[in-house]
Amino acid sequence: MATGYWEILTARHALRLLTGTLVGRLPNATAAIALVLFVRAEGGSYSLAGALAAVYGVANAVGQPVLGRLVDLYGQPRVQLPAAVLAALAMALFAFSGTDPLPVAYAAVAASGLFTPPLEGGLRALWPSVLGREEQVHTAYAMDAIAQEVMFTVGPLLVTLCVSLWDERAALLVLNLVGVLGALSVVLSPPSRAWRSAPREAHWLGALRSPGLLALLAAFLFVGIAMGSITVASVSYADGHGGDAVYGWLMAGVGLGALAGGTVYGARQWAGAPERRLRVLVALLAVCYLPLMLMPGAVAMVLLSVVSGVFLAPCIACAFIIVDRHAPSGTVTEAFSWLVTTFTVGASVGTGLAGPVVQAGGALWGFALPGAAGAVSLLVLLATGGVLAAPARGAVVAASSENDPNRAVEPRFSSGDRA
């Protein structure tokens, strides 16, 4: 099982790119908890902390596809590093100015979210030129999904570590400085410096002119809603079954399930079109949410949370392949960034929906929401099956040119049935 992952990690530049990307994304992964802790330390209310975190999230959702398009147009170093520096400087301004005056606080947090570099989409654009073989790229997508779960598990722990060693302001500053170093490591690597997007047709919609990509994004909006709603429902459940400790175990269970599922999924090659496979994975994801409605004791509930997360990482990894197949030529970084944005927006919507649902019907109805959202996602995929069956392009673009063998371009694999 580990052979495929080992081949990727030992490929030239692969470990550096993966590590640098994960480190570079730490400020984004830890922003919500770091902002809340800092605002509370400054004497601000939870409402203010939540509002600032929401502003950061909205700005980040807007900035990712915009910066992704700029990366496709101008290359990674010219966009990723300046964006990382601007995001860190904006957060440093917030850390030193605090919550007073409020307009400055909101502007600084919004700027930090807006300029967060699209390292996630950038890495997925680099994998084909680094690995070369299609099956290795697909395994790398699965490994990328697994690494995300690790990052979002370790990130909050790093925040609390920084707070315990120094204070809340230092946590904001240190993590954003580390993020800049991660981005620097990526953009100074030969694959990032050499990468160029494939030729693109000038169009104001960019990646969004692909009907297949739009269908995928619509489906993943509801996957995000499922993830956002389960966090709120879990809080309600934990209130009556042991408090914060149980809530932490429930969230860890979802992450553990995703790690296990992603590891198994990425360890083998799958026959058939990824669009058909995604329908099966989303159906299984929705079904695995339903047992949470049983709401047994805490130990059994944690086990059910593990089950509920098993098909999340495989869904994400499969979606990466589909994005790669449907993104119009020259828009691959933007297309991956749109997937990140859609998932983030969906999670925010899910959190907002779950609040009133739990308030009205308790945790039971809160846990019904993820299953319902998963079912809607499946319906979207079924309704758009014809659109998804036709990738945007099937031509293969060479990974290097005759005139300049050191100049990596955006490779595109054929749309055959191996995925």
Q: Is 403's pLDDT higher than 50?
A: no
Instruction: Give the pLDDT confidence score for residue 125 in this predicted structure.
Output: 93
pLDDT, greater one: 202 or 213: 213
Domain at 239, CATH number: 1.20.1250.20
Instruction: Give the pLDDT confidence score for residue 412 in this predicted structure.
Output: 53
Give a yes or no: residue 179 inside a domain: yes
Last residue of a domain, one of 177, 197, 217: 197
Give a yes or no: residue 397 inside a domain: no
Most confident of 89-93, 249-253, 363-367, 408-412: 89-93
Shared domain check, 137 and 68 = yes
User: pLDDT exceeding 90 applies to what percent of the chain?
Assistant: 59
For 115, 183, 192, 282, the CA distances from 82, given in Å and listed in that order, are 9, 10, 14, 37
Average pLDDT for 109-138: 92
pLDDT in tens, 175-192: 999 999 999 999 999 999
Instruction: Give the pLDDT confidence score for residue 5 in this predicted structure.
Output: 87
Give a yes or no: residue 155 inside a domain: yes
Shared domain check, 39 and 114 = yes
Q: List all residues 6 or more positions away from 300 whose beta carbon is below 8 Å from its beta carbon.
A: none
- Report the domain count for the chain: 2
Shared domain check, 71 and 189 = yes
pLDDT, greater one: 259 or 89: 89
Shared domain check, 222 and 162 = no
Terminus-to-terminus CA distance in the chain, angstroms? 17
Last residue of a domain, one of 168, 197, 226: 197
Shared domain check, 105 and 40 = yes
Average pLDDT for 355-364: 89
Q: How many CA atoms lie within 13 A of 183 on its CB side?
A: 31
Average pLDDT for 331-344: 92
Shared domain check, 219 and 104 = no
Last residue of a domain, one of 197, 216, 241: 197
Shared domain check, 186 and 217 = no
Shared domain check, 257 and 326 = yes
Most confident of 102-116, 150-164, 341-355: 102-116
pLDDT in tens, 70-121: 999 999 999 999 999 999 999 999 999 999 999 999 999 999 999 999 999 9
Q: How many CB atoms lie within 10 A of CB 407?
A: 14
Shared domain check, 110 and 25 = yes
Compute the mean pLDDT over every residue in the chain, rounded to the nearest whole number: 88
Shared domain check, 28 and 161 = yes
Residue labelled with tokens 């099937």: 394
Q: How confident is the model at residue 400 (pLDDT cuts 50, 70, 90)?
A: very low
Shared domain check, 307 and 242 = yes
Q: Is 416's pLDDT higher than 70?
A: no
Give a yes or no: residue 1 inside a domain: no
3-state secondary structure string across the chain = CHHHHHHHHCCCCHHHHHHHHHHHCHHHHHHHHHHHHHHHHCCCCHHHHHHHHHHHHHHHHHHHHHHHHHHHHHCCHHHHHHHHHHHHHHHHHHHHHCCCCHHHHHHHHHHHHHCCCCHHHHHHHHHHHHHCCHHHHHHHHHHHHHHHHHHHHHHHHHHHHHHHHCCHHHHHHHHHHHHHHHHHHHHCCHHHHHCECCCCCCCCCHHHHCHHHHHHHHHHHHHHHHHHHHHHHHHHHHHCCCCHHHHHHHHHHHHHHHHHHHHHHHCCCCECCHHHHHHHHHHHHHHHHHHHHHCCCHHHHHHHHHHHHCCHHHHHHHHHHHHHHHCCCCCHHHHHHHHHHHHHHHHHHHHHHHHHHHHHHHHHHHHHHHHHHHHHHHHHHHHCHHHHCCCCCCCCECCECCCCCCCEECCECCCCCEC
Give a yes or no: residue 405 inside a domain: no
Domain that holds residue 75: 16-197
Shared domain check, 90 and 173 = yes
